[in-house]
Amino acid sequence: MADACSKTFKDLGLSDNALEAIRGKGFDEPSPIQALTIPLMLRNDTNIIAQAQTGTGKTAAFGLPLIEMVDTGAKRVQAMILTPTRELAIQVSEEINSLKGRKKIITTPIYGGQSIDQQLRRLRKGVHIVVGTPGRVIDHLKRKTLNLDSIDHLVLDEADEMLNMGFIDDMENIMAYTNPDKRMLLFSATMPHKIKELAHKYMEGYELLSVKKAPLTTSLTEQIYLEVRVSEKFEALCRIIDIEDVFYGLVFCRTRSEVDRTAAHLMERGYDAAPIHGDISQAQRERTLEKFKQKKSNVLVATDVAARGIDVNNLTHVINFSLPQDPELYVHRIGRTGRAGNQGTAITFITPNEYKRLMFIQRMAKSDIKKSRVPTVRDIITAKRKKIHDDLVAVMGQNPEKQYFDWAKKLLQGNDPTDVLAVVLNYCFDEELSTDSYGVVNEIEPRTDDRRIGQQGKTRLFVALGKKDGYNPKKLVNLIVRRGSIKPGQIKEIRVMDTFSFITVPFGKAEKILNSFQQKNQKPLITRAKKK
pLDDT band for position 129 (cuts 50, 70, 90) = very high
**Average pLDDT score over the chain:** 85
**Average pLDDT rounded to a whole number, residues 419-432:** 90
| Best CA proximity match to 222, nearest among 324, 376, 322, 337 | 337
- Can you give the pLDDT at residue 331? 82
3-state helix, strand, coil in the chain (%, to 5): 45, 15, 40
**Could you tell me whether strands 249-252 and 273-276 are parallel, antiparallel, or unpaired per DSSP bridges?**
unpaired
- pLDDT over 60 at 477, yes or no: yes
pLDDT digits (tens, 9 = 90+) for 145-169: 999 999 999 999 988 888 877 888 9
Is pLDDT larger for residue 63 or for residue 52?
Answer: 63
- pLDDT over 70 at 54, yes or no: no
**Average pLDDT rounded to a whole number, residues 200-220:** 75
- Can you give the pLDDT at residue 80? 97
Distance, in Å, from the CA atom of 500 to the CA atom of 524, rounded to the nearest integer, reads 13
106 backbone φψ class: left, alpha, beta (φ>0; ψ -120 to 50): beta
| Best CA proximity match to 317, nearest among 300, 340, 297, 304 | 300
Strand partners, 528: 461
pLDDT band for position 170 (cuts 50, 70, 90) = very high
- Can you give the pLDDT at residue 340? 54
**Average pLDDT rounded to a whole number, residues 464-483:** 88
pLDDT band for position 457 (cuts 50, 70, 90) = low
- Can you give the pLDDT at residue 451? 40
Residue 148 DSSP SS3: coil
- Can you give the pLDDT at residue 394? 87
Give strand ranges (E) for 389-489: 458-463
Of 24-28, 91-95, 188-192, 290-294, the one with minimum mean pLDDT is 24-28
- pLDDT over 80 at 530, yes or no: no
The domains found in the chain, sorted by start residue, are 9-210 (3.40.50.300), 221-375 (3.40.50.300), 378-429 (no CATH), 455-528 (3.30.70.330)
Is pLDDT larger for residue 311 or for residue 199?
Answer: 199
Distance, in Å, from the CA atom of 270 to the CA atom of 376, rounded to the nearest integer, reads 20
Predicted model pTM: 0.52
- Can you give the pLDDT at residue 454? 34
State the CB neighbour count (10 A cutoff) for residue 115. Answer: 9
CA distances from 476 to 165, 443, 479 (A): 42, 22, 5
Distance, in Å, from the CA atom of 355 to the CA atom of 9, rounded to the nearest integer, reads 43
**N residues, the chain:** 532
